[in-house]
Amino acid sequence: ATASEDKDLVIIGGGVAGYVAAIKAGQEGLKVTCIEKRGTLGGTCLNVGCIPSKSLLNNSHLYHQILHDTRHRGIEVSDVKLNLANFMKAKDTAVNGLTKGVEFLLKKNGVEYIKGEGTFVNENEIKVALNDGGEATVRGKNILIATGSEATPFPGLEIDEKRVVTSTGALSLEKIPETLVVVGGGIIGLEMASVWSRLGSKVTVVEFLGQIGGPGMDNEIAKSTLKLLKKQGIEFKLNTKVISGDTSSEKVKLEVDSAKGGKPESLDAEVVLVAIGRRPYTANLGLENIAMELDERGRVIIDSEYRTKIPHIRCVGDATFGPMLAHKAEEEAVAVVEYIKKGYGHVNYGAIPSVMYTHPEVAWVGQTEQDLKAQSIPYRVGTFPFSANSRAKTNLDTDGIVKMIADPETDRLLGVHIIGPNAGEMIAEGTLALEYGASTEDIARTCHAHPTLAEAFKEAAMATHAKAIHF
Ligand code: FAD
Ligand code: NAD
């Protein structure tokens, strides 16, 4: 191995955190190397996460709509068929186009991209086992750990990505399973349950808690979500824990038990999806060679400037604290390069939106009612239902509400929670309002085009400090 010149920044991991940091650093005139072992850039998000899941969600929704939601619109279709191989091809086309696009962007910004697995030799030197064979050594004045996360395994249930799958396997099943049991009713569980249920699987979601949606979803919105997903035919077993699994027969067998203590029950499924959360991934990174600390959940410990205890080694994205979201990783990636180059950067962790891409979509930003209650912070709530919004009515798509939470004295917006059509796009307006410290009156006095779903957003703001017009 030969040591090359010292780079200004060496990035380990070419996911959203790593590739965005690489582009930003290139733009800032730094000499950058990005090391990625997957063979393609974009990490979990582009290869086996955000992008392929949204392709399957979008196209399964379209298929389901054509099958079940056309006659009353005056559209008669017949002979509708699903071609699963081509359905998956459409997903692969989206993924390939985007990962290649990222490779082009790295080139355009002068980033050196090395395909291989990086391991710390010491605090300044990284050894790369190249994908094509052989080894290289890279030295960096600054080093960024952006190695992301992996699915948390379920003890005793071995993942083969065919019958017992993580989200990765669930995004590439070769056949529509007759029965699918999803362990974990968080975002991955509910998005994948939606996809396969729309394609015809009988889906049962087993969730340990009494509520679905994972951490952060407003309780009231989570209840509405549960009701709507049940109406779509997905079955739920809440307050239920999986005790053990058996893969020795044709069907996978799961023993489940009421989390509150009750009768054990057995569930059979052609495919089981394990979606109980994700954990930081730092395997083979050689952290032991630099005595790097991890917290009890395996996260790299950093300070407010993303520095580890070795100041020129920093970490952003899923491998460290905070919500495991692509746009959070992206914000941090820009900020960390700004810290390196200029000494200051900024991420507002109070205004990071979350979106669950089911139908209807669920989206939120800021504080939930339960958060505020727990902190004894006074608040005021205003809601507006999509059933009173003209565009939603025109589209025959009226399930859901916009809910706003504001300070009762200053009227400053504290949180927005939406379940409804296009909630994922609409939440950008809530995020902007929160960033700018808007009051709900500011939002209500902003003219919104008619007829749009966004008028429901404006009317919820009206309902928060005064009264909505159309409800
Ligand atoms: P990753 O994307 O995991 O990237 C890390 C990269 O580092 C990987 O490519 C890995 O191969 C590489 N690597 C690791 N170790 C080494 C090493 N030693 N040497 C070289 N390379 C290494 N988030 C959203 O915001 N919206 C969504 O809709 C969404 N949908 C999702 C759907 C699914 C099914 C999943 C699983 C996740 C989803 N996420 C979504 C979460 C999102 O994918 C992550 O938050 C995001 O990918 C984190 O980016 P990252 O760069 O920190 O990590
Ligand atoms: P999650 O934390 O959102 O949900 C996991 C769920 O599993 C929780 O509801 C939890 O109570 C439940 N659970 C845990 N152990 C269990 C057990 N033994 N039995 C039954 N239920 C159990 O995690 P996830 O859905 O796996 O997603 C992982 C990460 O990926 C999240 O951080 C999420 O933000 C991210 N992600 C985001 C999107 C998006 O933004 N649209 C999509 C997919 C994934």
One DSSP character per residue, 233-249 reads T-EEE-SEEEEEEE-SS
For 99, the 3-state DSSP assignment is helix
Task: Supply the pLDDT for residue 4.
Answer: 57
Half-sphere exposure of 409 (CA within 13 A, CB side): 2
User: How is residue 234 written in tokens?
Assistant: 């997905």
Locate 233 and state its tokens.
Answer: 């035919």
Nearest CA among 55, 18, 44 for reference residue 33: 18
Question: Measured between alpha carbons, how far is 132 from 96 in angstroms, rounded to an integer?
Answer: 20
Q: Give this complex's ipTM.
A: 0.98
Question: Per-residue confidence of the chain (471 residues) as pLDDT tens digits?
Answer: 444 579 999 999 999 999 999 999 999 999 999 999 999 999 999 999 999 999 999 999 999 999 999 999 999 999 999 999 999 999 999 999 999 999 999 999 999 999 999 999 999 999 999 999 999 999 999 999 999 999 999 998 999 999 999 999 999 999 999 999 999 999 999 999 999 999 999 999 999 999 999 989 999 999 999 999 999 999 999 999 999 999 999 999 999 998 777 788 999 999 999 999 999 999 999 999 999 989 999 999 999 999 999 999 999 999 999 999 999 999 999 999 999 999 999 999 999 999 999 999 999 999 999 999 999 999 999 999 999 999 999 999 999 999 999 999 999 999 999 999 999 999 999 999 999 999 999 999 999 999 999 999 999 999 999 999 999
Q: Which of 104, 110, 123, 114 is nearest to 38 (CA)?
A: 114
Distance 371 CA to ligand 2 centre (A): 19
Residue 471 CB coordination number (10 Å): 15
Q: Which residue minimizes the CA distance to atom 34 of ligand 2?
A: 324
Closest residue to atom 37 of ligand 1, CA basis: 49
Name the residue with the closest Cα to ligand 1, atom 1: 148
Nearest CA, atom 23, ligand 2:
277
Nearest residue to 1 via CA among 120, 140, 135? 135
Gap between the Cα atoms of 416 and 432, Å rounded: 11
Pocket test for ligand 1, best of 44, 287, 334 (most atoms within 8 A of CB): 44
In angstroms, the CA 163 to CA 170 distance is: 9
209 lines ligand 2 (CB under 6 A): yes
DSSP class of 152: P
**Cβ atoms of 376 and 351 closer than 8 Å:** no
- Say yes or no: CB of residue 253 within 6 Å of ligand 1: no
Output the residue whose Cα is nearest ligand 2's atom 15.
276
Contact (CB, 8 A) for 340 and 9: yes
Collapsed DSSP state (helix, strand, coil) of residue 274 = strand
The structure's pTM equals: 0.97
44 CB near ligand 1 (under 6 Å): yes
The CB of 183 under 6 Å from ligand 2? The reply is yes
H-run or E-run covering 2: none
Q: Work out the burial of residue 396: count CB atoms within 10 Å of its CB; fewer than 13 is exposed, 13-18 middle, 19 or more buried.
A: exposed
**One-letter amino acid for residue 64 of the chain:** H
The ligand that comes nearest to the alpha carbon of residue 49 is: 1
Place of tokens 């049940």: 230
Could you tell me the distance, in angstroms and rounded to a whole number, from the CA of residue 324 to the centre of ligand 2?
10
The residues pairing with 275 across neighbouring beta strands, listed in sequence order, are: none
208 lines ligand 2 (CB under 6 A): yes
Pocket flag, ligand 2, residue 51 (CB < 6 Å): no
Q: Whose atoms come closest to the Cα of 18: which ligand?
A: 1
User: Could you give the dihedral angle defined by the CA atoms of residues 2, 336, 168 and 129, in that order, rounded to the nearest 10 degrees?
Assistant: 10
**Helix 326-342 vs helix 16-27: angle between axes, to the nearest 10 degrees?**
30
**Using CA atoms, how far apart are residues 129 and 132, in angstroms rounded to an integer?**
9
Predicted local distance difference test score (pLDDT) of residue 1: 40
Residues in contact with 239: Cβ distance below 8 Å, sequence separation at least 6, in sequence order:
207, 208, 209, 210, 258, 259, 260
Ligand 2 centroid to Cα of residue 116, in Å, is 29
pLDDT, position 2? 45
> Residue whose CA is closest, atom 41 of ligand 2?
356
CA 367/CA 378 separation, integer angstroms: 12
Query: Is any atom of ligand 1 closer than 6 Å to the C-beta of 188?
Result: yes
- C-alpha 391/C-alpha 420 separation (Å) is 12
Q: Is 311 helix (H, G, I), strand (E, B) or coil?
A: coil
Interval between CA 103 and ligand 2 midpoint (Å): 30
Distance (angstroms) between ligand 2 centre and the Cα of 44 equals 15
Is the beta carbon of 38 within 6 A of some atom in ligand 1?
yes
Residue showing tokens 């893969």: 247
Query: In the block, which residue shows the tokens 């009227």?
Result: 411
Inter-residue contact 168 to 156 (CB < 8 Å): no
Instruction: Output the average pLDDT for the chain.
Output: 96
Phi/psi at 313 (nearest 5 deg)?
-110, 120
Please provide the size of the chain in residues.
471
At 156 the pLDDT is 87
Q: Tell me if 170 CB under 6 Å of ligand 2.
A: no
What is the 258 CA–ligand 1 centroid distance (Å)? 33
Cα(48) to centroid of ligand 1, in Å? Answer: 8
> 136 CB less than 6 Å from ligand 2?
no
Q: Catalytic residue numbers?
A: 450
Is the Cβ–Cβ distance between 330 and 321 less than 8 Å?
Answer: no
Nearest CA to ligand 2 atom 44: 188
Q: 18: Cβ below 6 Å to ligand 1?
A: yes
148 CA → ligand 1 middle, Å: 5
Tally of helices (H runs) and strands (E runs) in the chain: 13, 21
